[in-house]
Structure 1
Amino acid sequence: MKPLSRPLTFLLATSCQVLIADAAPAVTPAQGNAIQLNGQPWIGRWLVRSEQGQPPSIYVQEDWLTNGLGVQLLDSEQADRQRLRWFSSPIFSQVAFDNTGRFRYLDLKPFAEQWRTEISGNALNIYTPNTTIQTVRRSKQPWGDRVVIDLSRRTPWRISQQGNVINVIVSAEVAANLATSADAIAGNIIKSVTLQPQGKLTQVQIQTNVAVIPVTEMLSSPAPRLVIDIRRDYTPPNLTVQWADGLKKIDRIVEIPNPQKTPKDPKTIKFAVTALEVDLKSPRLKLRPIWSNPNNSPEGMLGLTTVPQMVEEAKAVGAINAGFFNRIRRLPVGAIREGNRWLSGTALVRGAIAWNENGDMLIDRLNFSEEITTGNQLKINLTNLNSGYVQKGIARYTSTWGGSYSPLTEKELLVVVRGDRVVAQYQGGAVNVGQIAIPSDGYVLVARQTPEAVTQLPVGMTVRGRQAFIPDRFTSFPNLIGAGPLLLKNSAVVLNGKIENFQAGFDTQAADRSAIATTKDKGKLILATVQAVTGGSAPNLLQTAEVLKKLGAVDALNLDGGSSSTLFLGGNVLNRDVTGLAPVHNAIAIFITPPPTKPQF
């Protein structure tokens, strides 16, 4: 007969800050990725940690605390504890990471007033005490409207919004004497407030006459209550969190001067900034380029995917989208160098960032070129290296491009080189018709609209190659990403899209922006996205440069933007709704435990 088993049960008592186990199976799961709050299922990571001589503590992923319980994160300067607020004065919660260091968890104890928890397989079940909504009050304010929800005790809550409808879900029942019918008395912005009981949950639905972001505040005295302000002039608070040693998460509203075209134009303009500050001198942090296909994939550099998928495949902790690419061909068109391997070169003089393991870095305009010399001393300048950007001339493709090459244009001449010698010539036909293997001990030269290559590179001809960098400081850096335009150099705006061969008007387009920048502190980088504030306009490149200056940037580089702009950390997209993610080709990733460096091909 099999022994009966039951879930591991804990009672969390904040008054004495202990976990008391009343039953335990033979093996206690250390972690899981499912949470049930009062019977409501969530996807959320959790883990159990025990300090020597102390009872075990349950930690949950921090974004579940903010989204599931309504916890408000506050500025925190220490990586091992997080300052926050939940119906209280600021308090601290201890921080833990899983074994990979990729996911951040906070201790549940500061929030739990006699909560009961059960661990059942992969799931953490949380049961909170019965709570009552005592009253729901409304008032007009000079700036808009206010809704106050009075509670019998602290309880989980969450808020969501779809257009002009704001839903506040509270883990509480409605008091017997409280009306649940719609309160349709018009406010300044609010049209109606309705209570919709759902068992031990209540949905407070607020309809407005215009879409605005609700502002919530939790108060504890004289009794717990939620204060929800509906106002058009809301500016989110700045927030800086020491997420891990050497890694900060930053949210800012940055205000810069606005050149007035008419007297009615505002003198300043605001933008929303989400950023990560990375200290490459920290021994546990490394930065690497990543791309849509993993190492040794037969697809090589072909393909697009979202930044979260790339991060998961690479087992990184976070990333920002990086260089430009051809969305139709699904190929890179800018420079990518990782661990001294050239994955893709650049055909244009454009901005780039390079860095090494010691925290040294360089942001500047990069002029990268390759040249081959034949056995009869003929010098031939190559146009591209492993690039989806095609033009007249001879380009080079190595095995990092993929196991094979298929024509990108019509009637290409394909020249196979092994070692230092031409071993074969093939005449290509239509685009993407046929393929030729790229040797691991050589490369393929692709001649486009260059008929003389047939006689210049016959079978048996020896060839030698040479690479050149301007400025030559780029030569010594093992990692490099090209993008552009260059925005700042030595804290001065140096934006010039024409020099970097961008289309006319690219500088002045308004779009979501991604950028990377150095600071005055050696080894520290800022990975930032810059976007419109609610009701505002997206930034152009000059505005992006000015915003980065206010953040303390010294040298700064624009990365691919628009729908590509994505900043990711610890399992979460930080700067946009996950439903709006566009696939990209490559990114700059942050590793807590970096992958091994690959040898140069």
Structure 2
Amino acid sequence: MTRRQKRCRAGRTVLALLTALGSPAGAALAGAAPARAAPAAVEIAPGVAYEQFGLQAAGGPARAHVLAVDLRHPKVRLDLLYPGAVAERATVSRLAGRQAAVAGVNGDFFNITETQHPGVEATGASVGPAIAGGRTLKAAVPDGQRFGPALPPGTSTRDVFGVGTDRRARLDSLALDGTVTTSAERLPLGGLNQYALPVGSVGAFTADWGDASRVRATCGTDTERAAPCSTDTHEVTVRDGRVAATDQSPGGGPIAAGTTVLVGREAGAQWLRKLAVGDTVRVRHRLVAARSKVPYRFVIGGYPVLSGGQPLPGLDHRTRAVRSAAGLADGGRRVLLLSLDGSPEYRTGLTIAELADVMRRLGAVDAFSLDGGGSSTLVARAPGTTTVTVRNHPSGGTERPVPNGIGVFSTG
């Protein structure tokens, strides 16, 4: 196949994804004129194409950068970009480079600052559930502990965008199902590698957490992120099924493979105080999907904005920002990854309601909002190269380190 034929095929692939309801790619929001009549896509790998185009939104001009990913192509897959630990951050370009992704976009909202809790460091950990390569990394923090804009009605921190072992993308909700069992009692597990635990609960931290302090997990409440840190805490280290150490307060540092650190607050702390070194403890945890019966290979957090081709009710139509999103088409066989440009002439961005409308016009039936603002980043390789470059302009002027992202991988 000639280079010209490849470009034409890439254009047809993206056109099929970026055209919806008779509207061409680049069509602006309702009542506005299209910025261009047709897309000019570039195939960056078999089944993966990149496109950018202008939008005339109500608040001013915007520019979208879009990756169209055909999951029906046997050489293409999506997976989590992350630094190797939940409580760690790196730029999207660095994450994609480390994991040899051909393209990617930033992911979930995260614990970016801790101005309300003097002396407590932000962990950098993401808000929602995360699964990488079929392995569960973490569960969701309580809704009230979330960083980012207000959630639309009916959504929660448990909402996810993911790809199952059937290679289909879907939107779902994942809840933690876990227990801590001793010879005398059994207690529900309240968290897994989370920067915030429910009041009165016990949370588990594994080697996937990293070496960040676990103190933040006991700060705030289920409804108020800025509430003071708990003064009633306890920590138990479990190794090879037995209590290896106890402490009155959460610690930090790396957690060895095969070791679980249990952190309790309030009632959870009181329960952990019953344990002594040498006691038998069994910790079990898994994420349970609300809708899909197909196991997930990859999952990332955020929140839905479009379902069944219709915007969710109650979406914010006032606050504009640079944003990123993921959309699903063709029964989850095709995925659209979008990131807005953050350069000064486009920095007004879109409202969440506008974002949902843009994703619908691009052909998405379901769509999912990812972190935005200074986090919004889209990277992709140029044809014939092996290194990704940033395609949009991050609004902060440089890439912001983030906890995770959606990586596009190709063996072609």
TM-score over 0.5 for the pair: yes
Q: Which residue of 1 aligns with 2:76?
A: 285
1: CA distance between counterparts of 2:35 and 2:391? 17
Answer whether contact 2:87 2:212 (CA < 8 A) is retained: no
2:293 is the counterpart of 1:483:
no
CA gap 1:536/1:332 in 2 versus in 1, 3 angstroms? closer
CA gap 1:567/1:241 in 2 versus in 1, 3 angstroms? same
1: CA distance between counterparts of 2:256 and 2:183? 24
2: CA distance between counterparts of 1:387 and 1:507? 31
2: CA distance between counterparts of 1:548 and 1:425? 50
Q: Amino acid of the residue matched to residue 305 of structure 1?
A: A
2: CA distance between counterparts of 1:478 and 1:234? 38
Q: Structure 2 residue aligned with 1:563, among 371, 374, 389? A: 374
> Which secondary structure state, in structure 1, belongs to the residue aligned with residue 9 of structure 2?
coil
Q: Which residue of 1 aligns with 2:111?
A: 326
Q: Which residue of 1 aligns with 2:40?
A: 239
Q: Which residue of 2 aligns with 1:580?
A: 398
> Which secondary structure state, in structure 2, belongs to the residue aligned with residue 326 of structure 1?
coil
Q: Amino acid of the residue matched to residue 587 of structure 1?
A: G
The C-alpha deviation readout for 1:365-423, integer Å capped at 9, x for no partner, is x1412331423564423332112235532211111112686533566311122344433
CA gap 1:276/1:567 in 2 versus in 1, 3 angstroms? same
**What are the within-5 Å matches in structure 2 for residues 157-196 of structure 1?**
none
Question: 1:358: Cα distance to partner?
Answer: 3.9
Q: Which residue of 2 aligns with 1:374?
A: 181
Q: Amino acid of the residue matched to residue 365 of structure 2?
A: V
CA gap 1:323/1:442 in 2 versus in 1, 3 angstroms? same
> Which secondary structure state, in structure 1, belongs to the residue aligned with residue 171 of structure 2?
strand
2:121 is the counterpart of 1:311:
no
TM-score by length of 2: 0.72
> Which secondary structure state, in structure 1, belongs to the residue aligned with residue 94 of structure 2?
helix
Answer whether contact 1:416 1:438 (CA < 8 A) is retained: no
**What are the within-5 Å matches in structure 2 for residues 446-465 of structure 1?**
446-450=263-267, 451-459=269-277, 460-465=279-284
The C-alpha deviation readout for 1:45-102, integer Å capped at 9, x for no partner, is xxxxxxxxxxxxxx9xxxxxxxxxxxxx99932369xxxxxxxxxxxxxxxxxxxxxx
Structure 2 alignment gaps of length 5 or more: 12-32, 114-121, 143-155, 219-228, 382-387
**What are the within-5 Å matches in structure 2 for residues 214-253 of structure 1?**
235=35, 238-253=39-54
> Which secondary structure state, in structure 2, belongs to the residue aligned with residue 76 of structure 1?
helix
Question: 1:333: Cα distance to partner?
Answer: 2.5
Question: 1:463: Cα distance to partner?
Answer: 2.9
Q: Which residue of 1 aligns with 2:63?
A: 272
Question: 1:310: Cα distance to partner?
Answer: 1.6
Answer whether contact 1:515 1:557 (CA < 8 A) is retained: yes
Question: 1:540: Cα distance to partner?
Answer: 0.8
2: CA distance between counterparts of 1:302 and 1:311? 18
2: CA distance between counterparts of 1:281 and 1:527? 16
2: CA distance between counterparts of 1:325 and 1:242? 32
Q: Amino acid of the residue matched to residue 380 of structure 1?
A: L
> Which secondary structure state, in structure 2, belongs to the residue aligned with residue 478 of structure 1?
strand
Q: Considering only CA atoms, is the larger Rg found in Structure 1 or Structure 2? A: 1
CA gap 1:286/1:367 in 2 versus in 1, 3 angstroms? closer
> Which secondary structure state, in structure 1, belongs to the residue aligned with residue 95 of structure 2?
helix
Q: Which residue of 2 aligns with 1:424?
A: 245
Q: Structure 1 residue aligned with 2:327, among 492, 505, 517? A: 517
Q: Amino acid of the residue matched to residue 580 of structure 1?
A: T
Q: Which residue of 1 aligns with 2:222?
A: none
Q: Which residue of 2 aligns with 1:340?
A: 134
Question: 1:523: Cα distance to partner?
Answer: 1.6
Q: Amino acid of the residue matched to residue 125 of structure 2?
A: L
Q: Name whichever structure is richer in strand by fraction.
A: 1
> Which secondary structure state, in structure 1, belongs to the residue aligned with residue 43 of structure 2?
strand
The C-alpha deviation readout for 1:297-321, integer Å capped at 9, x for no partner, is xxx3333222112212222211100
2:398 is the counterpart of 1:398:
no
**Amino-acid identity (%):** 23
The C-alpha deviation readout for 1:516-566, integer Å capped at 9, x for no partner, is 011125521000124589578421101100010000001110000011000
Q: Amino acid of the residue matched to residue 288 of structure 2?
A: F
Answer whether contact 2:161 2:299 (CA < 8 A) is retained: yes
> Which secondary structure state, in structure 2, belongs to the residue aligned with residue 310 of structure 1?
helix
Question: 1:447: Cα distance to partner?
Answer: 0.8
Q: Which residue of 1 aligns with 2:288?
A: 469
Answer whether contact 1:398 1:442 (CA < 8 A) is retained: yes
Answer whether contact 1:324 1:332 (CA < 8 A) is retained: yes
Answer whether contact 2:7 2:43 (CA < 8 A) is retained: yes
Q: Amino acid of the residue matched to residue 372 of structure 1?
A: T
Q: Amino acid of the residue matched to residue 8 of structure 2?
A: E
Q: Amino acid of the residue matched to residue 518 of structure 1?
A: L
**What are the within-5 Å matches in structure 2 for residues 540-559 of structure 1?**
540-559=351-370
2:408 is the counterpart of 1:590:
yes
TM-score by length of 1: 0.51
2: CA distance between counterparts of 1:467 and 1:535? 42
